């Protein structure tokens, strides 16, 4: 049985509307664990948890999907243990959709790695040798039971020569075939990843090759890896419109508000990043007027909400002065409230963008947002 012929019974993308003034899209994805409205920003729970938040708080914020990390869960506690616990949804007490990355980004980000045709070798936290191959990545993700699995690929660094990129994407295509061969559960959708560095011709080649596999969705990888915002925008503007219109489009690892507006304008449906949660734990909060450092002395007597236009639990009940006090006192509640706020702010951005797309006014929404948003 070719699992691709069965997956559509469990996973479906519906494109509702494309803004008539640009490429921005609104739609929804149906999965075995619920519907995801797009465009969507996915908070990252690397180890099967959003740091500082309980799953019920994410539900209260209407978060429809979160991301977890295949590589880290493979190391601890191990995917076999999670499978015995009933899968990642049951293990972590989250009954909504989950996307798992493949571990391919760790090939890029971890220092001591060795890439071969077989896969990638790592040194684990205790110095042990860890081998990650396309087959192992898919096996681990199937043990986890995520709704969306990512194919194992190499995240191409920046800068990279054309020859390096040419060889890398050829190997990524071979690895993709091995991922497809290892994929056996039609209740899990496998997404292919488009690489190609900053070179238009290799992005186009990669799209043509990856889409030949007729997968449920596709992602743009290898951006936000040090290439800078101009190169990122160039890659997304070139690549996204070439991707299938009837499948979800996902840009991996992009998370500054201004970058989200850029990728949404170019027809991207999904994105993720650690930025809102990581920044929150460090005391940086996002508002419609830009980022604020809550520990700054200016907020000691500031009795306004972090973002007055948000009517969530944090902004209805707490002031900037109180949250500053929590950070100054090293109270963990400060990180909890800050994280909830940032996730709520990103959710609000996506909701407002979706509403604007459905009314053919996304460009107006983007211009209005950026007009008031102070960028560093």
Binding-site annotation, residues for substrate: 101-105, 153, 195, 222
Q: Is 371 a catalytic residue?
A: no
Q: How far apart are CA 22 and CA 265, in angstroms?
A: 6
Q: Which helix (H) or strand (E) holds 130?
A: strand 129-132
Q: At what angle do helices 362-372 and 332-358 cross, to 10 degrees?
A: 140
User: Tokens representing 326?
Assistant: 């929590």
User: Tokens representing 247?
Assistant: 């499948």
Length of the chain equals 376
Q: Is 101 a catalytic residue?
A: yes
- Give how far Cα 318 sits from Cα of 226, 304, 312, 352, Å: 37, 8, 10, 23
Catalytic residue chosen out of the listed positions 19, 101, 147, 269: 101
Catalytic residue chosen out of the listed positions 19, 147, 259, 272: 272
Q: At what angle do helices 257-265 and 362-372 cross, to 10 degrees?
A: 160
Cis before 77 (ω within 30):
yes
Q: How far apart are CA 350 and CA 345, in angstroms?
A: 9
- Alpha helix positions (H), the chain: 55-60, 70-75, 79-84, 88-92, 104-109, 134-144, 162-182, 200-211, 229-239, 257-265, 275-281, 313-317, 320-328, 332-358, 362-372
Q: Name the pairing type of β-strands 120-123 and 113-115.
A: antiparallel
Sequence-separated (6 or more) residues with CB below 8 Å from residue 278: none
Q: How far apart are CA 36 and CA 147, in angstroms?
A: 11
**348-361 in b/e burial notation, b at 16+ Cβ within 10 A?**
bbbebbbebbeeeb
Q: Which residues are catalytic?
A: 101, 272
């Amino acid at each position: 049985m070719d699992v691709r012929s069965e997956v559509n019974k469990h996973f479906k993308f519906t494109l509702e509307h494309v803004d008539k003034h640009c490429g921005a899209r609104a739609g929804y994805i149906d999965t075995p664990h619920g519907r995801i409205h797009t465009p969507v920003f996915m908070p990252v729970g690397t180890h099967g948890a959003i740091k500082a938040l309980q799953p019920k708080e994410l539900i209260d914020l209407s978060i429809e999907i979160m991301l977890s990390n295949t590589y880290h869960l493979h190391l601890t506690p191990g995917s076999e243990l999670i499978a015995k616990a009933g899968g990642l949804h049951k293990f972590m007490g989250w009954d909504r959709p989950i996307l798992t990355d493949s571990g391919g980004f760790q090939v890029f980000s971890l220092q001591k790695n060795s890439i071969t045709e077989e896969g990638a070798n790592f040194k684990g936290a205790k110095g042990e040798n860890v081998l990650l191959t396309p087959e192992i990545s898919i096996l681990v993700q199937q043990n986890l039971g995520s709704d969306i699995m990512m194919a194992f690929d190499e995240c191409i660094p920046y800068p990279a020569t054309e020859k390096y990129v040419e060889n890398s994407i050829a190997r990524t295509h071979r690895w993709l075939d091995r991922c497809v061969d290892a994929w056996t559960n039609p209740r899990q959708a496998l997404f292919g990843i488009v690489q190609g560095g900053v070179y238009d011709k290799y992005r186009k080649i990669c799209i043509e090759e990856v889409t030949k596999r007729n997968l449920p969705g596709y992602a743009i990888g290898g951006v936000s890896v040090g290439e800078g915002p101009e190169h990122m925008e160039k890659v997304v503007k070139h690549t996204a419109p070439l991707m299938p219109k009837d499948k979800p489009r996902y840009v991996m690892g992009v998370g500054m508000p201004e970058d989200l507006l850029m990728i949404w304008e170019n027809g991207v449906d999904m994105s993720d990043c650690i930025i809102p949660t990581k920044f929150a734990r460090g005391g940086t909060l996002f508002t419609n007027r830009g980022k604020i450092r809550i520990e700054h002395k200016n907020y000691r007597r500031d009795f306004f909400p972090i973002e007055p236009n948000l009517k969530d639990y944090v902004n209805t009940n707490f002031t900037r002065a109180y949250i500053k006090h929590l950070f100054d006192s090293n109270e963990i509640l400060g990180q909890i409230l800050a994280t909830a706020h940032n996730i709520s702010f990103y959710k609000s951005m996506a909701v407002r963008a979706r509403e604007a797309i459905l009314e053919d006014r996304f460009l107006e929404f983007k211009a209005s947002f950026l007009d008031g948003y102070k960028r560093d």
